[in-house]
Structure 1
Amino acid sequence: MCMTVTLEDDAHTTCHIMLFTDVQNAAELRQMIMKGQVEASLIKPEMIAGVFPVVVAANKAVRSRSTGKMVTRSVYSEVLFNLSPTKNITESLKTFGLGDSDKTVLAVVLEGEEEGEAGTRVQKLISQIKAEVADLNLLSSLTDEARVRALYKISDAELTISSLADSVVSRVACKEFLTL
């Protein structure tokens, strides 16, 4: 139900990724995010081509935080920004962030090793979201491949030599060098 990965920063940040379905309080969650009461990135699953692009975006976010080079105000909005092929923060948040009427959400929770809080942020998030925790394998069925391809400008020719997820990862990883 929850995928956990240790990221490549000095703090050995743990990245927890969870999928929620039947979300009943998306508008309330968005308000809580804007007030800084949610310690997670809440992402539209239809815009995600797999878990690995999310891990890459989260890794970039914690590295930016550790070097003091974040573009956004929080590490969680930085994850959303890193997923986007553009450098427009507002557009990134609109495209990837939770909407008021969304019924599914992919959540990313980051916990530092030195903070001694293993799992407490995850449990807090689960208590905040009125939804069912779903199997992460369901993510691929929620992806809107046409929208993802259009957003990242992925051609049919590219998909003959690469998967959709790999194409997205290359763009997320190289965002600073690409102009789409």
Structure 2
Amino acid sequence: MEVYRYQQFPSHLATVHVALFDNVTNADELHARLIRASTLTGSEGETEREAVNFAFIDARLIASIQHLKAAVYHAILAATQGGLKTKSVHSEIIWTLNPTNNITEALRRYGVSASSSSLFVVRVDRPLDGLVERLSTIVHGTLVPLDSLKDMTNWDTIKKHYKLNDEPAIRNAAGDKDVERRKIDRIVTSSVATKIVMG
């Protein structure tokens, strides 16, 4: 797990914890749990929502750590300015990753689904102790270093969602996978970084 601190933001939004899990075996249960938590009422609902108060992101659709960090920063900035398009800073991260403004589509594409086998788990909060242990009870998988992302990214799906297959810069680099991937990463990261202006 890595921790990033943004001192310019209020204390409850200034610390970002990021974990990457591979070989996730309970994605379908986790997806169902998130849906259930959103519908529960009263104290039971509050307790369950706090238990899963994270952004669960399908790692296959993340081009780089910078891509993810751009979405996190955007979501925190929106939260500090009262400009959230979703219910929480965590769902805002997922919404920001999607190239369109459709929240349902963003959750379906970028959030945890039954087919997710690798997940980023992000918590925006104050510094928290015992988070790795807590996450291990929620996500059944292997905690891996963030640079393991390079073996998880599904570049074809990213190109499809961002409609990059006909992008001249991408077509021109088609013979060199490393160049193509760097260009895709730059495009999607820039798209995320400017969404707060365009949205």
TM-score, normalization by structure 2: 0.78
Query: How far did residue 122 of structure 1 move?
Result: 4.4
Q: 1:165, 1:119 → 2: CA distance?
A: 32
Q: 1:126, 1:68 → 2: CA distance?
A: 32
2:195 aligns to what SS in structure 1?
coil
Alignment match of 2:192 (pick from 172, 176, 179): 172
Alignment pair present for 1:141 and 2:144: no
Alignment pair present for 1:124 and 2:123: no
Query: How far did residue 81 of structure 1 move?
Result: 0.2
Greater C-alpha Rg: 2
Mean Cα displacement is larger for which, 16-25 or 120-129? 120-129
**Cα distance change, pair 21–174 in 1 and its aligned pair in 2 (3 A):** same
Alignment pair present for 1:10 and 2:40: no
Q: Match of 1:133, as an amino acid?
A: L
Cα offsets for 1:93-152 (capped at 9, x unmatched): 01100002322111112122xxxx423444422321111101222211211111112222
Q: Larger % of helix: which?
A: 2
Q: 2:107, 2:134 → 1: CA distance?
A: 23
**Corresponding position of 1:21:** 22
Q: 2:17, 2:116 → 1: CA distance?
A: 21
Q: Which runs of 5+ in 2 are unaligned?
A: 38-48, 174-178
Q: 2:54, 2:197 → 1: CA distance?
A: 27
Query: How does 1:28-177 map onto structure 2 within 5 Å?
Result: 28-34=29-35, 35=37, 36=49, 37-112=51-126, 117-154=127-164, 155-157=167-169, 163-177=183-197
Q: Match of 1:174, as an amino acid?
A: T
**Cα distance change, pair 123–111 in 1 and its aligned pair in 2 (3 A):** farther
Could you tell me whether the CA contact under 8 Å between 1:85 and 1:171 is conserved in 2? yes
TM-score, normalization by structure 1: 0.85
Could you tell me whether the CA contact under 8 Å between 1:20 and 1:134 is conserved in 2? yes
- Aligned pair count reads 174
Query: How far did residue 178 of structure 1 move?
Result: 5.0
Q: Match of 1:118, as an amino acid?
A: L
State the identity as a percent: 26
Cα offsets for 1:20-58 (capped at 9, x unmatched): 112121122112223023121111111110111111111
Q: Which runs of 4+ in 1 moved over 6 A?
A: none
Q: Match of 1:150, as an amino acid?
A: K
CA RMSD of aligned residues (A): 2.2
